[in-house]
Structure 1
């Protein structure tokens, strides 16, 4: 499947044009936007999960951070930032509609995101999610697959019930994003079997296409759903979706950085977890693609047989940084954030919501979660 990012990604964006997230006040502003959107969507999300079988509903509530594995409310658990549901709400507001028209779309993308994390944890063997046992670890692999399937079905059902003349278009967009997400996940899994060097090695364009599908498709769909349900013209919807896809590639690049250098108490994942699994993430691929001594030593280490112990993994992280992988991944994120913001110029978006979108986009470059 070819990437749809090329036209905007190749656009003339001044080098380093993206603004850094500068202040605590800016972060607080974005936090307020996310909180407002979560509060708007939460009642409908609770109602939707309440339709499930009690057991799958309990697993969904655990995944969403509402309860522990015994079904007891867990106020200390993280419910996540709610970026996708916020994008749906802001997509509607950006085209001049009330954010409430996007609630069904926001619920749908949040359910899709949750089920994809459930299944992703199974495929990657990740035992923790947001510093708690992943659903498959708490309930078993079979039940977690079942709960994920239930959320998948529920997401489409909820969106299909959205009132208004644009429901059919909204459902088609969600189904397209679901297909792209599966394609991206399939490519990510296939990357594990490919060598680190030689003709079969994963190229950076191949990685970008995977990231666009696996992460960008749902982010683009989220903001586009808000615009569709808000009655926006097709050109505006397309621009918002394209921006969301760029945002997704940037988001994935930052996620890859956190997978190596993130703080476990914040990310909920073990330190150097992606390196230990030899995952082909952007910083590692960029580092191995270099021609210096650190790149060559890293390739030999990653191609060595047997598991990597703590010392080897820590050394690999040093080599990735020395070979330029960390800086390359950050620059990749910056380029795609520039492209996302640049792609929305020239469209008549509501100033307040457009400002919130821009602040949310920018905040993702320096996120630590």
Structure 2
């Protein structure tokens, strides 16, 4: 880590990130000693502790919000969060999400001189909104499983799952308006509402891409900024807002979150194609089997290369996308440069996220979370 002449942070990981994310750490030039190494255990431990602490901090608020719903929506929500089985019987140690977004909200607040207590309701609101999107995504993508269990729509049907998602969105706004510091409640609610609109637009574009033969790189990046970046940007901005930060700092945190959202999406796209199913918990090549226009695919299809043209014949053909065809598609994407371009763009976004943080920010927690996002394997 170093400070540039413009007062911005610099994190010399662009080339290191590309090589590491590509799985070739042995070819990565040695970074300065002051730079966190891609697999620095202390940084990863710090980040994972933040995820655990954030989950513990927001869970009572989430449970109280869900309890305010009438039956059966409260039971559907409890099942989705991993707290109970379909009959409502409590489950100890149920599988839940990463809690990345609430962790970012709290980390942004503390980076701006605030406390976790000031931002905890905003963090819970962001998690509720995130889960609204997950429930709806499962319906739109017809995903049968989440965290190793049947998704809500598979258990209760698409209509009930859609209604649950709507309820979680409403709860997010209610939790935020009830718990955010009074001086910033109005702006906080407006920011969350606007992020919801942007998120929905991004999701619409993502779905629309599936019916198109070709998507440009710029179109994909705009979609990702909405679908994934908007909520991470909002999460960080809300943390700063709840800490009483000025407009400059709130804006910087928002930019950090948007860029980190792009890192998250690009790494996610790469993991879906080249990740280990035993680690990810997802079927191999699920995006390819569904012919999704993920970033590596977009890069390959627009590469004007032999492998890219062969990929287009597979992707746009009428034959079913069998596991064998999906595996061949993955090889073609790599041959066409899709993997390398994806990882390079993720590294650039990581640099942009870090550079957005003013040098006078106590951003170690945010940096640790950014490290975890960039170098995760699931």
* TM-score of the pair, normalised by structure 1: 0.90
Displacement of 1:141: 0.9
Q: Does 1:186 align with 2:199?
A: no
Number of residue pairs aligned between Structure 1 and Structure 2: 350
Residue in structure 2 matched with residue 8 of structure 1 by the alignment: none
Q: Mapping of 1:297-308 within 5 angstroms?
A: 297-308=310-321
In structure 2, distance between residues paired with 1:355 and 1:288:
39
Q: Does 1:45 align with 2:52?
A: no
Q: Does 1:77 align with 2:94?
A: yes
Q: Does 1:365 align with 2:370?
A: no
Residue in structure 1 matched with residue 166 of structure 2 by the alignment: 149
In structure 1, distance between residues paired with 2:85 and 2:255:
37
Q: Structure 2 vs 1, CA of residues 45 and 76 (structure 1 numbering), >3 Å: closer, same or farther? A: closer
**Does the 8 Å CA contact 2:11/2:354 hold for their aligned counterparts?**
no
Residue in structure 2 matched with residue 128 of structure 1 by the alignment: 145
Q: Does 1:173 align with 2:198?
A: no
The one of 71, 79, 87 equivalent to 1:62 is 79
Q: Mapping of 1:281-360 within 5 angstroms?
A: 281-346=294-359, 348-349=360-361, 351=362, 354-360=363-369
Q: Does 1:104 align with 2:121?
A: yes
Residue in structure 2 matched with residue 3 of structure 1 by the alignment: none
Residue in structure 2 matched with residue 243 of structure 1 by the alignment: 256
**Does the 8 Å CA contact 2:125/2:173 hold for their aligned counterparts?**
yes
Displacement of 1:355: 0.2
Moved more, 294-303 or 241-250: 294-303
In structure 2, distance between residues paired with 1:43 and 1:71:
18
Gaps of 5+ in 1: 1-10, 196-200
Displacement of 1:186: 0.8
**Does the 8 Å CA contact 2:10/2:351 hold for their aligned counterparts?**
no
In structure 2, distance between residues paired with 1:152 and 1:77:
22
Displacement of 1:109: 0.6
User: What SS does structure 2 have at the residue aligned with 1:305?
Assistant: coil
**Does the 8 Å CA contact 2:10/2:354 hold for their aligned counterparts?**
no
The one of 100, 112, 115 equivalent to 1:95 is 112
Displacement of 1:76: 4.9
**Does the 8 Å CA contact 2:252/2:358 hold for their aligned counterparts?**
no
Q: Does 1:268 align with 2:281?
A: yes
Displacement of 1:21: 2.1
In structure 2, distance between residues paired with 1:204 and 1:94:
33
In structure 2, distance between residues paired with 1:75 and 1:118:
22
* TM-score of the pair, normalised by structure 2: 0.88
User: What SS does structure 2 have at the residue aligned with 1:161?
Assistant: helix
Q: Does 1:253 align with 2:290?
A: no
**Does the 8 Å CA contact 1:128/1:268 hold for their aligned counterparts?**
no
In structure 2, distance between residues paired with 1:20 and 1:177:
33
The one of 148, 161, 166 equivalent to 2:178 is 161
In structure 2, distance between residues paired with 1:325 and 1:90:
33
The one of 199, 221, 226 equivalent to 1:213 is 226
Residue in structure 2 matched with residue 16 of structure 1 by the alignment: 15
**Does the 8 Å CA contact 2:264/2:373 hold for their aligned counterparts?**
yes
**Does the 8 Å CA contact 2:39/2:375 hold for their aligned counterparts?**
no
Considering only aligned residues, what root-mean-square deviation do their CA atoms show, in Å? Answer: 1.8
Displacement of 1:268: 3.2
Q: Structure 2 vs 1, CA of residues 78 and 44 (structure 1 numbering), >3 Å: closer, same or farther? A: same
Gaps of 5+ in 2: 1-8, 18-35
